[in-house]
Chain A
Amino acid sequence: MLDTTREVEVPEGITLSLPVAGAVSRALAFFIDVIIRWSAMAVIIQILAFFGNFGTGLYLLAIFLIEWFYPVLFEIFYHGQTIGKKVMDIMVVNDDGTPIDWSSSIVRNLLRFADFLPFLYLFGLISMLFSRDFKRLGDFAAGTLVVHKLTRLSPLAQNNLSGLAPKMTLTLEEQSAIIGFSERSERMSESRLNELAGHLRPWLNQSKLNQNESASMQLKRMAKWLRGHA
């Protein structure tokens, strides 16, 4: 398959396919984090300015923590997501799909410095383009992946169509293609649906089609039948 997913086998004998996140969503997440970090520093410097030299000391400590440990703390305590990653709906996991742990997170975030070289993440980008799982150097050393978060899908709307048996026996692949078409129909425009369904026009039940039933409607009813609805 051409998909950018990474198959991970888990002890329960199944594989999880993790959709690996690419350079663009990761860069956007990074920029969101940069803005948040800079504003945090700006606020901190304003507040600590009242405390003289002691405040300056605290400020330098805070900068040190934010510079190096902002991503680490978020990744550990916030399900592998910094705020930017949360917005982009991506997360960091270990190569085996388990949640990221302290040392992996620290390795990948300390090596950020090397990825940044010579300017604006050039080495990191080159490394991502040359690796199958879009890993930057820090990800290689830490053994981590950045993946799109698998979240619960919204349940499908129930329709009141009656099932329609296909004229001939279909292979499993053909069946799942028809069901897949029906499930995705809500995300496509009417004309696109008809265009796709039109390819099957010659194969569909012509007498029904003449009764003003569109090809896409007939496929949806067939999907209903295939899913087990009489």
Chain B
Amino acid sequence: MRQEEFEKRYQTLWNKFEQAINVLTRFKKKNIENTVLLQTFADDYRQICYCLALARERQYSPHLINQLESFAFQGHQLLYRKRLGVFNRVYQFILYGLPQAVREQAKFVWIASLLFYLPALAIFGFTLLFPELIYSLVDPDMVARIESMYDPALDKIGRERQADTDFMMFGYYIRNNIGIAFQSFAGGILATIGTQFFLIFNGTFFGGVSAHIINIGYQETFYSFVAGHSSYELTGIVLSGAAGLQIGWAVIAPGCFSRKQALINAGRRSMSLVYGAFFLLLIAAFVEAFWSSNTTFSVMTKYWVGIAGWLAILSYFFLAGRRSLSQYAAR
């Protein structure tokens, strides 16, 4: 068949398909005319693919082939769009997706925990023994700032704040802490080096500061402040680290896959942990801004809330989502 005959025969189909694409991409109103037009979308798309295959086989002109290719591409994009049931998926993720993902990738979560808590504990011990060590770990200005924040002698402990200041700090914690978690995840793709750096660096800082606070005798103000959000924040940091280690490990040891495919698989798996880190750090920022800064409750209450937080996190990861998927579906 000559090209012009071919064009003549299918022109109406092509025009109709182009109209359908326009309706679907340009937010046109829903009316009867458009609904009728879209009813045959899938069939028309298959016809377009057929035309493209024919046109290529018969080596029709490049312009025609490009034209059909663009139709086929746009049809493909529209037909294979994924449905986004976001809220339902978030609910399922929190109910059982996250704890299952953490257990499934327990290896990376444990390694990340070690990389974070071991340096923290070691530095904590050393700083208790040699108090001046803090000045070689943390910038002296920073040390002075931390000291002034938690000085119990201060009349207003720097934390007796108005509601609007609480909200400002909430914004600050979100931007700062979650940003660091994301960076520590992204650094993992450099053969885990970036993630290791972030975990060890933050562990060292955290261990050093906690010990220094004890050395100068400010523990009550400091620990009652951090107790409430510590469980969510530290676990969030560990989870983002575990996600980073996972993609880095895919680069180092891809196993039976090509490095490229291993990276894609690891990226997909690690996303659960990144979402988990995001979720936990969001809670941490909320608690830190609106609960930890509150001084109307006694120190003991704050410690109990902190312990309850840790128990909640641990039982969530160890116990939640143990039922099989079919049991969830049956409910």
Contacts and interface: CB of A to CB of B under 8 A. Distances in A.
A103 B271 contact: yes
B169 A107 contact: no
Given A14-B53, A64-B179, A114-B186, A98 B76 contact: yes
A167 interface: no
B162 interface: yes
Contacts of A106: 271, 274
A59 interface: yes
Interface stretch (B78-86, B127-135, B201-209): B78-86
Contacts of B3: 179, 226-228
19 contacts: A14-B52, A54-B168, A57-B167, A57-B172, A61-B171, A64-B178, A79-B25, A99-B80, A99-B81, A107-B268, A110-B186, A112-B186, A117-B187, A117-B190, A141-B189, A141-B264, A156-B63, A226-B3, A227-B61
B61 A176 contact: yes
Given A141-B189, A141-B263, A56 B171 contact: yes
A141 B270 CA distance: 10
B116 interface: no
A54 B175 CA distance: 15
B84 A102 contact: yes
Contacts of B74: 150
Nearest to A17: B69
A90 to B, nearest CB: 14
Interface of A: 10, 12-14, 16-18, 52-54, 56-61, 63-64, 67-68, 76, 79, 93, 95, 97-99, 101-103, 106-107, 110-114, 117, 123, 137, 140-143, 150-153, 156, 172-173, 175-176, 179-180, 183, 226-229
A98 B174 CA distance: 33
B164 interface: yes
B130 to A, nearest CB: 34
A137 B76 CA distance: 26
Contacts of A68: 178-179, 182
B120 interface: no
B28 to A, nearest CB: 15
B186 A113 contact: yes
B168 A60 contact: yes
Q: Which 7 A-B pairs have the closest CB atoms?
A: A228-B2, A60-B171, A228-B4, A57-B171, A141-B267, A113-B186, A57-B167
A179 B69 CA distance: 18
Interface residues of B, number: 65
Nearest to B25: A79
Contacts of A142: 264, 267
B60 interface: yes
A113 B260 CA distance: 19
Nearest to A95: B264
Contact of A113 (B70, B86, B164, B182): B182
Interface in B55-104: 56, 58-63, 66-67, 69-70, 72-74, 76-77, 80-82, 84, 86
| Centre residue among A12, A18, A111, A152 by max chain B CB count within 10 A | A12
Contact of B49 (A10, A107, A151, A183): A10
B119 interface: no
A125 B190 CA distance: 14
A201 B25 CA distance: 48
Contacts of A141: 189, 247, 263-264, 266-267
A44 to B, nearest CB: 12
Contacts of B18: 152
Contacts of A67: 175, 179
Interface in B165-207: 165, 167-172, 174-175, 178-179, 182-183, 185-190, 194
Contacts of B5: 228
B45 interface: yes
Given A59-B171, A60-B175, A64-B174, A53 B165 contact: yes
Given A14-B56, A179-B60, 13 more contacts: A10-B49, A12-B46, A18-B73, A52-B164, A76-B84, A103-B271, A114-B186, A114-B187, A150-B66, A183-B62, A227-B3, A228-B4, A228-B6
